[in-house]
Chain A
Amino acid sequence: MIEIGIAQLLVVSTALFFIGVYGFLTRRNMVTMLMSIELILNAVNINFIAFNKYLFPHKLDGLFFTIIIITIAAAEAAVAIAIIINLYRKYKSIDVEDANSMRF
């Protein structure tokens, strides 16, 4: 069995990223689309940590980027859920196809 290196970690993060992309393309419910975005952001985090661990172990920059991405994901989730709750009050549904009052 081969030794686990950076390539195996990158395969895992790639699979996670494209599972998130699939979910984002197929789901039409805003909460589940938000969950897909979280999966994509986590795949990016795994990439940063893998590169930091195996290619630049004498630095900590990948770690800081990961911490910053986690913070931005938390802020983004809070704002997105506020928007979702507001849309639910207006349309009684959180399907993206139903929210069309800005349609030209």
Chain B
Amino acid sequence: MSANTILFYILATIIIGGAIMAVTSLKIFRAAIYLLFSLIGIAGLYFWLNYEFLAAVQIVVYVGGIVVLIIFSIFLTHGSGEDMTAPKLSRSIFGAIAAACGFSLTLCIINQHHFLVSTSKAIEPSVQNIGRQMLSTTAHGYVLPFEVISILLLAAMIGAIVIAIKIKPKA
């Protein structure tokens, strides 16, 4: 068993374990921290696949942005250290059955399907190649989605401010 394989299994354990603890923990702050570990494991998986730029984006956006946002919203809406109420037993049983059925169905499909692994020459996912293709206006360029996404981000930012703003009563 090579070091690469061992590394993959360690990363998979961190990802799956963190995710399971994040959806079952009754202390909401701990759930957020377990989610953090799971997301860092996913960034490690991107490093393992040699997508360094994507791993950096994952760490900056998810770990540095979204988890911090979630922790702030926990601080704004919860008393510290209180347990959440446990979900109803029937609900967690049916949720587990639904998730297990979907999981086993997808596993069957993955096992039966024969993936045609490509042997063509790989493009290196370096920042240079990514930037060239993302901002190119020729065929296979991604400049239109790039611009649409930037407008979406602007709209979401303005929308978040408008929704969360506190209207002062007029004196």
A residues sitting closer than 8 Å to B (CB atoms) are: 1, 3-12, 14-16, 18-23, 25-29, 31-32, 34-36, 38-39, 42, 45-46, 49-50, 53-61, 63-64, 66-68, 70-79, 81-86, 88-89, 94
Contacts and interface: CB of A to CB of B under 8 A. Distances in A.
Nearest to B91: A26
Contacts of B20: 19
Nearest to A92: B77
Contacts of B1: 1
Contact of B117 (A27, A31, A54, A94): A54
Among B23, B39, B45, B152, max chain A CB count under 10 A is at: B23
B160 to A, nearest CB: 4
B76 A46 contact: no
B80 interface: no
* Majority-rule SS of A interface residues: helix
Interface residues of B, number: 80
Contact of A81 (B31, B70, B107, B118): B70
Given A19-B16, A35-B35, A83 B163 contact: yes
A55 B99 CA distance: 27
Contact of B28 (A32, A38, A76, A77): A32
Nearest to A51: B115
A85 to B, nearest CB: 5
Nearest to A14: B106
Contact of A1 (B5, B38, B49, B153): B5
A49 B44 CA distance: 13
Contacts of B160: 78-79, 81-82
A45 B115 contact: no
Contacts of B58: 45, 70
Contacts of A36: 23
Contacts of A81: 69-70, 72-73, 160, 164
Given A27-B87, A42-B42, A73 B110 contact: no
Among A9, A32, A54, max chain B CB count under 10 A is at: A32
A82 B5 contact: no
